[in-house]
């Protein structure tokens, strides 16, 4: 459960022309409760979401140790269930790509998909492989949640045959790699959580109320929109359906070796972005509450309706997005179009209304 901290919006909020002052790049700075928004993000989202995810990665690490010590079908099934839960909870922390998360390329080390299967196979059987090798940037697409997907779901078509990889001639190599992947996920998650909980980060982030591009609100909104546009709209839906060149890429979905959970992951990601936008309590300072207090109930309502429409559109897809992309990619592209309406509302209208200075790139995808 998210921890709830109540922050009151500042009373004096609606801005008249005389309350504005020039911002960076000649724009007009709009006054709103930046400090309240930043404190709410740290306490209601960053810390609580990463605490939840850290608990899941620790469970995955521990169950990996159990499975590698005793590689049975029962232990494999238990580990797989923990991995599924961790992948779902990962969707709540994926948008927070700044601070320590950005410094250590957290997102790409945890979820660079599609997995480079050939590189992963080479690493597994490499005589000189050591866990430290996963720190090399070229191994980002050979680790994380996608690598675990391959190691516990993709080695064979039956659990009996998957377990055989961990009991056969190369068992120690497979055990070592699986352990290294699970341990690194947990270690990186703990690093980011410690940073978000630190007094240094909290003080620097929440006090950085500048209206410039380097201001914390601007950085957060920029990363939030980049996540929604590239990693939710495109990576989860558009690219597998062929949004770039109509060349379908069904093997680029998340959880490609357990595709029946791919739609669920997209829905979890969408729900978390909605929570970030609306807040988790009615009293929370959020992007939604800021628009309402600025008299832009119309824009707030439109964005909320677009979140609802996006959820309904995704629910109309097959739970297996790999199968959906293969059999009826046009339907996925229709969902992509629904998500794009929300991208426009956030990227153009929200940013314009709050006169934010952001550096979001146009339309390029992961």
Tens digit of each residue's pLDDT (9 = 90 or more) over 234-281: 999 999 999 978 899 999 999 999 999 999 999 999 999 999 999 998
pLDDT score, position 366? 39
Confidence (pLDDT) at 47? 97
Q: Report pLDDT for 173.
A: 97
Residue 214: pLDDT band by 50, 70, 90 thresholds? Answer: very high
Average pLDDT over residues 149-158: 98
Contact assessment for residue 279 and residue 253, using Cβ atoms and an 8 Å cutoff: no
Average pLDDT estimate for 175-202: 97
- Residue 196: pLDDT band by 50, 70, 90 thresholds? very high
pLDDT band at 22 (very low <50, low <70, confident <90, very high): very low
Q: What is the pTM of this model?
A: 0.90
DSSP state of 31: P
Give backbone dihedrals phi and psi of 83, rounded to 5 degrees, phi first: -65, -40
Give me the phi and psi of 22, to 5 degrees please.
-60, 140
Q: Coil, strand or helix: which one is 234?
A: helix
CB atoms inside a 10 Å sphere around CB 58: 17
* Percent of the chain residues topping a pLDDT of 70: 90
Position 10 scores a pLDDT of 33
Is residue 183 helix, strand or coil? helix
Residue 23 has pLDDT above 60, yes or no: no
Rounded average pLDDT over 331-338: 98
CB atoms within 10 A of CB 330: 9
**Pairing state of beta strands 21-22 and 28-29?**
antiparallel
pLDDT band at 332 (very low <50, low <70, confident <90, very high): very high
What's the length of the chain?
366
Q: How many CB atoms lie within 10 A of CB 334?
A: 16
Least trusted range by pLDDT, from 60-69, 71-80, 164-173, 349-358: 349-358
> Does 282 have pLDDT greater than 60?
yes
Cβ atoms of residues 296 and 16 within 8 Å: no
Mean pLDDT (the chain, rounded): 91
* Cα-trace Rg, the chain: 22
Q: Is 50 exceeded by the pLDDT of residue 6?
A: no
The whole-number pLDDT of residue 28 equals 62
Say if residue 114 is preceded by a cis peptide, omega within 30 of 0.
yes
Query: What dotted CATH number matches 33-209?
Result: 1.20.1420.20
* CA atoms of 318 and 303, how far apart (whole Å): 25
Task: Please tell me the predicted confidence (pLDDT) of residue 245.
Answer: 80
For range 225-229, the mean pLDDT: 96
For residue 281, the model assigns a pLDDT of 87
Say which residue, 179 or 16, is predicted with more confidence.
179
Contacts 24+ apart (CB under 8 A), 62-71: 64/178, 64/179, 64/182, 64/183, 65/179, 67/166, 67/178, 68/166, 68/175, 68/178, 68/179, 71/163, 71/166, 71/167, 71/171, 71/175
365 pLDDT more than 50: no
Query: Which conformational region is residue 105 in: left (phi greater than 0), alpha (psi within -120 to 50 degrees), or beta?
Result: left
Residue 20: pLDDT over 60: no
């Amino acid at each position: 459960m998210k921890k709830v901290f109540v922050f009151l919006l500042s009373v004096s909020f609606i801005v008249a022309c005389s309350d504005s002052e020039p911002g960076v790049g000649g724009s007009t700075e709009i006054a709103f409760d930046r400090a309240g928004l930043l404190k709410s993000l740290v306490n209601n989202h960053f810390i609580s979401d990463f605490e939840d995810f850290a608990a899941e990665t620790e469970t995955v690490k521990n169950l990996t140790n159990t499975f590698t010590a005793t590689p049975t079908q029962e232990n494999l099934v238990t580990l797989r269930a923990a991995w599924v839960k961790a992948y779902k909870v990962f969707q709540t922390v994926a948008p927070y790509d700044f601070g320590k998360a950005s410094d250590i390329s957290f997102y790409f080390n945890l979820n660079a998909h599609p997995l480079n299967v050939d590189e992963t196979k080479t690493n597994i059987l490499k005589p000189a492989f050591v866990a430290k090798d996963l720190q090399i940037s070229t191994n980002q697409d050979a680790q994380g949640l996608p690598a675990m997907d391959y190691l516990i779901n993709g080695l064979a078509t039956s659990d009996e045959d998957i377990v055989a990889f961990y009991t056969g001639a190369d068992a120690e190599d497979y055990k070592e790699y699986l352990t290294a992947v699970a341990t690194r996920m947990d270690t990186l998650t703990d690093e980011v959580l410690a940073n978000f909980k630190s007094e240094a980060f909290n003080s620097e982030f929440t006090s950085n109320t500048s209206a410039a591009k380097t201001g914390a609100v601007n950085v957060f909104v920029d990363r939030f929109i980049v996540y929604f546009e590239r990693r939710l709209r495109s990576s989860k839906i558009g690219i597998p359906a062929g949004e770039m060149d109509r060349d379908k890429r069904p093997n680029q979905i998340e959880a490609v070796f357990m595709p029946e959970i791919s739609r669920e992951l997209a829905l979890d990601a969408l729900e978390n972005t909605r929570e970030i936008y609306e807040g988790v309590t009615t009293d929370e300072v959020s992007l939604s509450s800021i628009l309402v207090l600025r008299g832009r109930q119309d824009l707030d309502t439109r964005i909320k309706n677009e979140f609802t429409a996006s959820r309904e559109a995704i629910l109309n897809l097959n739970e297996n997005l790999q199968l959906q992309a293969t059999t009826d990619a046009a339907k996925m592209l229709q969902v992509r179009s629904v998500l794009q309406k929300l991208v426009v509302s956030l990227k153009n209208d929200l940013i314009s209304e709050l006169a934010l200075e952001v550096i979001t790139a146009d339309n390029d995808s992961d």
